[in-house]
Amino acid sequence: MNIKTKKPKSDFVYAGSVRPYPQSPTRLVDPEKVLTLPDYAIDGVPKKKGGTNGVEVKSAEEIVKMRASGRAAREVLDIAGRLVAPGVTTDAIDAAVHAACIERGAYPSPLNYRKFPKSCCTSVNEVICHGIPDERPLEEGDIVNIDITVYLDGYHGDCSEMFVVGGKEALDEAGQKLIQTTYDSWLSSLELVRPGVDFNVIGKVIQDYITPRGYSTVRSFCGHGIGSVFHCAPNIYHYTVNQPLGLIKAGNVFTIEPMICEKLADPYMWDDDWTATTVDGGRSAQFEHTLLVTDDGVEAMTGKIETSPLQFWEAESEVRKGVWLGTSENARKRAEELNCSM
C-alpha cells in the first residue's frame, strides 16, 4: 500500500477557522484479518465498474450481504460517535474506526480509495466532506460529521452522522438549527423512496425543505449507488433537477446524503485535494444512509440498532412520523415509541 500525504502550502488561504494538523502514518490492513480486500486496496485505483447497464437491482444473496455490511458500518459509526468529546483528536477516532472494522473482518473502504490516507472521513464545522483525520483536538461547540464505509465479504455499507462536541448545550442555536434542518430535509426525502417514484423527487424534497429556511444545498457532491462497487449508478442529487432521472425500482440500493450549508454551498478545496469546505467559512451538516428499496418502501441498511444513542435532532424532529430508520425489530419498536411520544 503506497499512500503519500501532501503538506499544505504555507501561503494557502483558508475559508474558515479549521486548519490542517499533522497526520499520523497511514494505518495498514493485514489481508489475513479481513474477509476480502477491495480492488483498490493495494494501488489506490478502483478497477471494477458498477451499473454500466443502468441502476443495478440487487439479488437476494447480494441483499443479505449488504445488510451485513450495513450493520457493520452502523456499529462502527456508533463506536466513533461515542468518542466525540473535547480534546479528542479526529486521528484517535480514525484509529478506533480502523480497529473496529478489522475486528469485524471488514476493510475500511475509504482507506487508499483514490489514495485517501485514512479509514474514515471527519468533517468539522465548515468542512463539507472528505475531511482527513489528523491531530487537531476537537473543541467544545464543534460540529463534526463522521463518514463510515466498510467493505465486508465483497460489499460496501456507507453511512454518516453529525455529532456535537460537548453535547447540545455546547452548541449555539444557529448550529442546532442547521443540524435539525439537515436531518429533517434528509428524513423528508427518505419518506418518499419507493418503487415507481422518479429519482428527481429526492432532490426536490430536500431543496423545497431547506430553501425557505435560508439554507443552501451542495451541488458538487451527490449520493450514489453502492454494492460491490463503492460508487456506481445512480447519482442521487440533493437539489431540484427539472427533468426525469429514471424510476426507482425494488432492489435498488443507493445513498442519500445531503450536505446543507448555513450560507453559500460552493465548495472550496484545500490543497490536500480532498478536504472540501464552504467558500465563506459557514458551517455544513450532513446525514447519510445506505438504502434498500423494498416492494413498498425503503429499508435503511445502515439504520439505528438497539444500542445506538438517540440524538437531540431525532427527538426534536418535526417530520419524523412513521419512518423507521432501524435495522432490527427492537429499533423499530423504539422508533415507534419515540413517534408516539411526540
d(CA 19, CA 136): 8
Rounded CA-CA distance 166/87 in Å is 10
Q: Residue 171 in contact with residue 164, Cβ under 8 Å?
A: yes
- Rounded Cα distance between 262 and 194, Å, is 30
Going by the annotation, the residues of the binding site for a divalent metal cation are: 147, 158, 224, 257, 288
- Provide the annotated binding site: 130, 147, 158, 224, 231, 257, 288
Q: Please enumerate, by residue number, every residue annotated as part of a binding site for substrate.
A: 130, 231
Three-class SS state of 284? strand
> Could you tell me where the beta strands, DSSP code E, fall in the chain?
107-108, 121-124, 127-129, 143-152, 155-164, 216-217, 223-225, 232-236, 253-256, 259-261, 267-269, 276-278, 284-286, 289-293, 298-300
In order of 82, 86, 277, 309, the CA distances from 93 in angstroms are 9, 12, 20, 17
Dist. CA 308–CA 78, nearest whole Å: 6
105: left (phi over 0), alpha (psi -120 to 50) or beta: left
Grid cell listed for 261: 450549508
